[in-house]
Amino acid sequence: MFVDYVKIKVKAGDGGNGCVSFRREKFVPRGGPNGGDGGNGGSVFLEADPDLATLLDFRFRPLIRAGKGQHGRGKNMHGRRGKDAVVKVPLGTVVTEGERELVDLTRPGQRFCAARGGRGGRGNQHFATPTLRTPRIAEEGKPGEERSLILELKIIADVGLVGLPNAGKSTLLSHITRATPKIASYPFTTLHPNLGVFEDLVGNHVVIADIPGLIEGASRGAGLGHRFLRHIERTRLLVHIIAFDEANFDFDSLYEKYDMVLRELEAYTDILARKPRIVVLNKIDLVPEEFVQGAVEAFRGKGIDPVCISALEEIGLQSLLERIREKLGQMDSAPEKEEDE
C-alpha cells in the first residue's frame, strides 16, 4: 500500500532527576554531598533510507517515543541517558510543522532531530558552597520536546510520465523498464505512482515515475491526480503522453487533451509549467497514418515537436528513449557550459 502523507506525534524522553545523597562511610566524617546527575532524555531522529518507498509504517505507528533518562543515584552515580529513537523514512520526505517546512530529506543517511531529549537534573553535589555544606536540593529533569509533525513524501525521479487517464502511461513504463504496474482498459487503473529504471547512454540509471492520470480540476482536488502532483515537482523532465482516439480524428480535441493537462500543471505551481517537457503521441496503431502525420504537423505548427509511439505494439519506443537521453544529457551539461563562459 502506497502512503505519501501522514500526521505523527513525536515525544522525546524526559531527563532524569538529580539525586540528593550524602557520603556515609566509616572513618570519613563530613563526607559531603554525592548525589549524581540525572541522565538526559533520548531524542527522536528521522533518517532518510533509499530502500523505503512509502510512509505506510507510520499509519500503524503515529506516536514515536524516545527513552527517558534515568535518575541520578548516590556515590556520584549519574543516570543513564535515554535511548534515542531513530526512525527511517523514504528519500524525498518533507517534514513540516504547521505551515513551516522543517527539513527536506533528500540524501541517503541524512538525519533530522525531530524532538530533542530533556536535560537531566543536577544532583545535590553541585549545590554545595562554603556556607551550605549539606544541600538537600537537586534539580528535576527537563521534559523532552513533544511535537505534531506532517510527513509528506515527494518521489525523487528523473522523468515523470503525465497525461490523462488511460493515455497509456503504465503500458509505456512496463515496456521500457521492468516495472509491473497495473494495466487495464479503463481509467484510473493507476492508484499510486509507479517507478521504473532504464540505463542511459553512459550506463547511468534513469528513474521514471508513472503519475496517476490527471483530469480537469485536478489542481483543485478533482480525481486522483491532485494527490500526486507533488511528486512531479521532484522530476527533472516531464514526458507528456497524449493518446489518439480511434473514434475521433479531430486534431482540436487531441490538442485540447494536451492543453488541459498543461493548464492543471500551471495551476498547481509555476515550477511544473517551467519544467522541460517531451510531448508523446501514443496509440498510433489505432488511427490512419495520414491522421498521425497531420497531427504531427499541427503540433509542430504550434512549436511542439512530438514523438509518435505505440506503447502496446512497441512502436517508436527507441526514438522516445533516445529523445529522453538526449534531453537529460543537455540538462546535465548546461551548468558546465555556463561555468565555461
Residue 183 has pLDDT above 50, yes or no: no
Residue 247 has pLDDT above 80, yes or no: no
Residue 54 has pLDDT above 70, yes or no: yes
**Range 254-282 average pLDDT:** 86
Structure-block grid coordinates of residue 160: 515523470
pLDDT-derived band at 180 (thresholds 50, 70, 90) equals low
Q: What is the mean pLDDT of the chain?
A: 84
Q: Are 162 and 241 a contacting pair, CB within 8 Å? A: yes
Strands 159-163 and 93-97: unpaired
Residue 220 has pLDDT above 80, yes or no: no
pLDDT in the model for residue 214: 60
More reliable by pLDDT, 297 or 182? 297
**CA count, 13 A, side-chain hemisphere, 50:** 6
| Pick from 54, 43, 51: nearest CA to 93 | 54
Crossing angle between the packed helical segments 169-176 and 317-340, to the nearest 10 degrees: 80
pLDDT in the model for residue 336: 46
For 270-303, write each residue's pLDDT tens digit: 888 788 999 999 999 988 898 999 999 999 998 9
* Positive/negative CA dihedral, 288, 290, 294, 300: positive
Place of cell 501514443: 282
Residue 273: is it exposed, middle or buried by C-beta count within 10 angstroms (0-12/13-18/19+)? middle
| Pick from 186, 137, 187: nearest CA to 164 | 187
Q: Which of 159-173, 191-205, 253-267 has the lowest mean pLDDT?
A: 191-205
What residues form DSSP beta bridges with 251? none
Strands 277-282 and 237-243: parallel
**Domain spanning 5-153: CATH 2.70.210.12:** yes
In terms of CATH, what superfamily is 159-340?
P-loop containing nucleotide triphosphate hydrolases (3.40.50.300)
- CA–CA separation, 245 and 287 (whole Å): 7
Q: Are 262 and 219 a contacting pair, CB within 8 Å? A: no
Strands of 120-246 (E only): list them: 146-153, 159-163, 194-199, 205-210, 237-243
Give the pTM: 0.72
pLDDT in the model for residue 64: 96
Q: Are 136 and 31 a contacting pair, CB within 8 Å? A: no
What residues form DSSP beta bridges with 278? 239
pLDDT-derived band at 158 (thresholds 50, 70, 90) equals confident
Q: Are 225 and 213 a contacting pair, CB within 8 Å? A: yes
Q: Would you list the domain boundaries of the chain?
A: 5-153, 159-340
For 71-124, write each residue's pLDDT tens digit: 999 999 999 999 999 999 999 899 999 989 999 999 999 999 999 999 999 999
